[in-house]
Amino acid sequence: MKFCGLLLMVCAGLALGADIGVVDEIIAKVNGDIITRGDLEHSRKQLEAELHQQGLSGSRLADALRDQEQNMLRDKIDQLLLVQKGKELNINVDSDVSKYLADMQRQFNIADPDKFQQFIHDQTGLPFEDYKNDIKNGYLTQRVIRQEVGSKITIKKEEIAKYYNEHKSEFNRQEKVILSEIFLSTEGKDAAAAAAIEKKAKDLVARARKGEKFGELARANSDGASAQAYGDIGGWEKGKLQPILEKAVWDKPRGYVTDPVRMPNGLEILKVEEHQKAGQETLEEAEQEITEKLFAPRMQPEVRAYLTKLRQDAFLQLKPGYVDSGAAPGKDTRWQDPAQLKPETVTKEEVSAKTRHKRLLWMIPIPGTETTAKQKTSSSH
């Protein structure tokens, strides 16, 4: 009878647990944080969506997923270690986060804070606080990598000169104009709204010509995807721009700001940042590009070495069956006797409250810069 009573209590408890929510399995402990099986599944779905956006499907999609899944747990551990290090170093990025969100709110023209938070939730599927935390962690990890790794990599002048002399053909450039843009969309607007946008465009031209920073004006007002890059749309060789835009800028000097150019879906304002003539770049002109070419291949192994060191110093345990492809040599990460540890499961509510992180945060844009929000972009290029 006691056994039957106990059995009934267990069944009742399971039924009650089902009402509370399904639990998620902890698969890794990283200092004071955890990674769950649900975290990996969330990352997998996110990765699959990204690969779909890149045009992969069928066997190509399956192969790409399989290749990148091997490092999924490694990437999760990387993210936690970098965020934890940022907090340990007392790196404060609150002002960066506030500015980023304010710029985004201004870009999408949503003045009401509650509506903006709902907009973020609708576009990303995340509660606003989780989205905000993603941005904060993105800034933290970038600062840690820049401060602890990037600042210690130096490219000597002699190396730059050697690369230039051995690769001069790479710096035999074509004539091109370097441009920034402000694009104001008129798509779907009635006559009154379109007239207001035209007035705004003329006002922005006047402000830019009086000396206001074009990049800041673009960041705050442009409807184009380039707004996040302060309007930068790069260099254009002759014949690559639409004829109406090429005519507006090709023979203009550096710093010139065009009148608003009417396009099928809006108004385009361009600034000539530079007009490069055809011919061989000098060493001085090529120095920045060469520095970036030499810096990038050194950065990756240094970042990996830094993360290995963080692993060596961390409390790190992995459940059997899970592999950290970035494991530190000789580091014991075996899962200890569960009976001596805290329960190995967490509730759905606890999981949802945990910080969500992006992959490879030192290589990709801060979370939110590739939001799924449908931005109205220029069709000018």
Asked which of 35-49, 145-159, 342-356 is least confident by mean pLDDT, the reply is 342-356
Which run of H or E residues covers position 182?
Answer: strand 176-185
Residue 128 lies in a domain: no
Residue 187 lies in a domain: yes
Rounded mean pLDDT, 340-352: 53
User: What dihedral angle (degrees, nearest 10) is formed by the CA atoms of 132, 138, 140, 141?
Assistant: 160
Residue 199 lies in a domain: yes
Residue 352 lies in a domain: no
> Considering its fold, how many domains does the chain have in total?
1
Are residues 350 and 84 in contact, defined by beta-carbon separation less than 8 angstroms?
A: no
Residue range 134-160, pLDDT digits in tens? 899 999 999 999 999 999 999 999 999
Residue 268 lies in a domain: yes
Rounded mean pLDDT, 170-196: 91
User: What dihedral angle (degrees, nearest 10) is formed by the CA atoms of 71, 77, 80, 86?
Assistant: -90
Q: What is the pLDDT of residue 2?
A: 36
Residue 208 lies in a domain: yes
Q: Which domain holds residue 260?
A: 175-277
CB neighbours (10 Å) of residue 369?
A: 13
Please, which pLDDT band fits residue 365 given cuts at 50, 70 and 90? very low
Residue 189 lies in a domain: yes
Are residues 249 and 179 in contact, defined by beta-carbon separation less than 8 angstroms?
A: yes
d(Cα 143, Cα 176) in Å, to the nearest integer? Answer: 34
Residue range 268-318, pLDDT digits in tens? 999 999 998 888 989 998 999 999 999 989 999 999 999 999 999 999 999
Residue 351 lies in a domain: no
CA-nearest of 41, 46, 5 to 25 is 41
Q: What is the pLDDT of residue 379?
A: 46
CA-nearest of 361, 369, 300, 368 to 142 is 361
CA-nearest of 71, 81, 100, 69 to 29 is 81
Name the percent of the chain lying above pLDDT 70: 82
Q: Find tokens 């520095």 and name the residue.
A: 291
Alpha-carbon distance values, 288 to 56, 171, 291 (Å): 34, 12, 5
Are residues 96 and 90 in contact, defined by beta-carbon separation less than 8 angstroms?
A: no
Q: How far is CA 10 from the centre of its chain?
A: 47
Which CATH number fits the domain that encloses residue 179? 3.10.50.40
Residue range 211-261, pLDDT digits in tens? 999 999 998 899 888 888 899 999 999 999 999 999 999 999 999 999 999
The mean pLDDT value of the chain amounts to 84
d(Cα 248, Cα 239) in Å, to the nearest integer? Answer: 13
Q: What is the pLDDT of residue 12?
A: 38
